[in-house]
Structure 1
Amino acid sequence: MDLVLIILLLIVGIILIIKAGDIFVEAAVWFAGVSRIPKFIIGATVVSLATTLPEIVVSAIAAFQGNVDMSTGNAIGSVIVNTGLIMGLSIAFIPIAMKRKGFLEKVVFCGVSILLFGAFALGGSFKLWQVLVLLAIAVMFTLENVRSGSKNRKENHEEIIEFDKRKFYINIVKFVLGTAGIFFGARLLIDNATELANFLNVPQRVIAITTVALGTSLPELATAITAIRKKGTALSLGNIIGANIANIALVIPVSAFIYGGSLPIEPMNGIIDSGVAILLLLVAALPTLIRKKFSSWQGIALISIYLIYIAYIFFV
């Protein structure tokens, strides 16, 4: 296949995933709201899950096709992109204060998830009990989000969404189209990412960690760029850490279940990738927890580590 066509179809797949994901989330939130589910629960479950939906679907389809390097590479690669590039850009341009308590909880969950990823990779595959451990972390993190959301909510200001028959049918269509669009976009992304890897004669893992992971993280990147342009704090850096937890604790288990057995991973790759992810987390978190704010130098350091890592996996 022609390189230009491969890249074009890959871009179409990424755009389709992002746009379809937005439509899916709008419909899911509407249905949850009509069901009188409190907003804090919707935010902690439906919305939080939706931010990781592109990574989940892409990795799951890759696992179904037997492209395990693409599946695991996208999971850990998204963590590295989120922390190194997206958080790095945000912090470099907008150093902001951060409440220690809520941020610390996310950092602990994220750190444990990354360390377990690296430890489990030593065995050459993610076994059933290991997958269940990761899934338990995802459940505990979701419950913690629900607990903290319940504690902080203001019931008197919750908007009640009334049932409307016309909106019901519209959201049914949006839900179906969003779901179909995500899966079709994911297939385009995976198939053409595989073709790109073959064309460039590089391992699928390299394309997964760079192109695919960046593609599925574009919504977060777009939010970061908007926040930088408006010189505001629209981007919640704590939520990026939260997305990283889901990228490991949800994406790996779902991929393993779809694969139908122990999910293989090259031990050395798992150690290197998780090591870089932990390094990025430490640079982002430790100074912030001590000083209760982010500094520009942290952002520059995160971007530098990310670029060095990308150069390493391409040329070493």
Structure 2
Amino acid sequence: MDFIIFIAAMTALIYGADFVIKESERIALHFNISHYVIGATLIAFGTSLPEMAASMMASYAGKSDMAVANVVGSVIFNITLVLGVVFFISKKMVPKRDLFSLDSAWIVIPVVIFFIMIQDGEISRADGILYLLLMLSYLIFLFGSSKETLESDIDEELVKEKFNWGLTIALLLVGFVLTIGGANFVVESGTNIARSFGVSEWIIGLFLIALGTSLPELVVSLVAIKKGNAEMSIGNIIGSNVANFSMVLGSASLVSPLIVDLVATKFDLFIMAAASITLVFILANKLYNRAGAIFLLIILALFIQNAV
């Protein structure tokens, strides 16, 4: 039964991602917004909803380990797995946006704030409010710094179509429901199997739930590449990681303060920091190719080896 659920869920993910990308392109075309900004806002927030729901539910249930591990694991998978695959299979990626000078700080700042917050072993409600303010700051920065014009690789068929707000919003919602719903079923079945084998809550949150809630980002990014919008996939990951720290941890800590075991989680936190720094290095050197992918996939291999 779990296998059947997995196949059905993956099918929903793929079709949902296709709706999300196509309708996001339609909105980008209508408002003359770059693919990167659409990826870092609309798509990033939409694909971060599974992490937000999972962490808030875990926080409400008093499972701080699972709530925090979900975010840590999602950030690691988003950077190493999703971007690793994106860079590996993308034939040519030449972003018009200067990603290093404009966006690298937003890869590092949320991580630095996270490490400062957990020094006392807790992410408090006050910390959560600070994170939510960070999310607001990111949005203001993103739209304020974006003076790009729409990329020329927009789907030509969309250019010919008349923009319809009602249809676009409806299809976008359907896309997110299919994408997030599919990921939820993958997480649920995987978590039940793991619990039956006595796997710890931290490993479930770090590995199964984090990987499951990163599936929307992965599938959406792969569909974006297929449609020639690789830059949208980078915006999706950077925006998703900012949302994971600020919106997800911020909301979860408002439900209940989150306790973090610094000793037990030190390796995973180290991997998260290493992945973030490596991404900044890739942006600085424009390694949007297999060389950059190899760096990220090596970090992913180290993470998986330790977790297993």
TM range (shorter): 0.7 to 0.9
Q: 1:308 maps to what in 2? A: 302
- Does residue 1:69 correspond to 2:65, yes or no? yes
Counterpart-to-counterpart distance in 2, 1:274 and 1:106: 22
Gaps of 5+ in 1: none
Alignment map for 1:234-249 (pairs within 5 Å): 234-236=230-232, 238-239=234-235, 240-249=237-246
Aligned to 2:145: 148
The alignment covers a number of residue pairs equal to: 297
Aligned CA RMSD, in angstroms, stands at 4.1
Equivalent position of 2:292 in the other structure:
298
Identity %: 23
Among candidates 260, 268, 274, match of residue 273 of structure 1 = 268
Give the distance between the partners of 1:309 and 1:102, measured in 2 at CA.
Answer: 26
1:217-265 deviation digits (Å, cap 9, x = unpaired): 22332355457778x66354531222211111111112223xx321222
Structure 2 unaligned regions, length at least 5: none
Contact 2:97 2:148 in 1 (8 A): no
Q: How does 1:1-316 map to 2 (within 5 A)?
A: 5=1, 9=5, 38=31, 40=33, 43=38, 45-94=41-90, 96-98=93-95, 101-149=98-146, 151-153=147-149, 168=166, 188=185, 191-225=188-222, 234-236=230-232, 238-239=234-235, 240-257=237-254, 260-289=255-284, 291-314=285-308
Change in 2 beyond 3 A, CA 1:274/1:9 = same
Q: In 2, Cα distance between the equivalents of 1:8 and 1:208?
A: 23
Q: What is the SS of the residue equivalent to 1:213?
A: helix
Contact 1:25 1:50 survives alignment (8 Å): no
Of 85-94 and 174-183, more deviation after overlay is shown by 174-183
Q: Quick check: 2:191–2:208 contact (8 Å CA) kept in 1?
A: no
Check the 8 A contact 1:58/1:187 in 2, yes or no.
no
- Do the aligned residues in 2 keep the contact of 1:74 with 1:212 (CA within 8 Å)? yes
Alpha carbons of 1:244 and 1:253: their partners in 2 closer, same or farther (altered >3 Å)? Answer: same
Contact 2:50 2:184 in 1 (8 A): no
Is the deviation greater in 49-58 or in 10-19?
A: 10-19
Identify if the C-alpha distance between structure 1 residues 48 and 191 changes in structure 2 by more than 3 Å, giving closer, same or farther: closer
Structure 1 residue 152 displacement after superposition: 2.2
**TM-score (normalised: structure 1):** 0.73
Relative to 1, partners in 2 of residues 1:162 and 1:127: Cα closer, same or farther, differing over 3 Å? same
Give the secondary-structure state (helix, strand or coil) at the position aligned to 2:65: helix
Code of the aligned partner of 2:85: L
Moved more, 187-196 or 60-69: 187-196
| Superposition TM-score, scaled by structure 2 size | 0.75
